[in-house]
Amino acid sequence: MAVADANYNFIYAGVGCQGCISDGGVFQHTSLYKRIQLRPLQFPDAEALQSRGKLVPFVFVADEHKPGSSSPVFNYRRSRARRIIENFFGIMSAKFRIFLKAISLHPDKVETVSLTCIYLHNYLRRNAESKSFYSPPGTFDSENSDNNLIPGSWRKEVKDPHALHRIGRQ
């Protein structure tokens, strides 16, 4: 389970729960859930969205959905927000190809490998030079002016068995 910000950085990751558990069950096994239950978390103050003056609070976007309970506009906005986390896991699978199949390691090692890749992801997105190599423009999904999805380049990399790139010594 992961929490991401709008800039494609992981701000929380819970690794190690069995995959056969529901999303809600996975969440209940995280330290984040326990902290929310024990005491309120200190969330950032509301901020204005780009090109708008209205302050908007920070929110979590999750999978839970009850058919017919939301407006089409809300569902569209939620879908756009959820795409950020989908892009996270997609680029992680494209760049760290170990996630493309079952990992044949002890669960403790799988947790270490997963968290290491998450740390590397955030590290490589920290400065402009490494970001331009790791996730250049077009890597993540986007939308055109008609709100149609433009698939990110990571989607092709995941499907391409020869997508590994040679990098020279720096």
**Domain layout of the chain by residue ranges:** 2-41+64-159
Residue 122: per-residue pLDDT: 94
Residue 65: per-residue pLDDT: 57
**Mean pLDDT (whole number) for 88-108:** 89
Q: Which of 99, 101, 23 is nearest to 64 (CA)?
A: 23
Q: Residue 48, class by beta-carbon neighbours within 10 Å (0-12 exposed, 13-18 middle, 19+ buried)?
A: exposed
Q: Which two tokens stand for residue 119?
A: 């740390």
Q: Report pTM.
A: 0.76
**pLDDT-based confidence at residue 165 (cuts at 50, 70, 90):** low
pLDDT tens digits for range 39-86: 777 778 888 877 778 898 888 877 665 666 678 887 887 888 888 888
For the ranges 28-32, 48-52, 112-116, 163-167, the lowest mean pLDDT is seen at 163-167
Could you give phi then psi for residue 34, rounded to 5 degrees?
-60, -40
Alpha helices in 19-159 (DSSP H): 23-28, 31-38, 72-95, 107-124, 128-134, 154-159
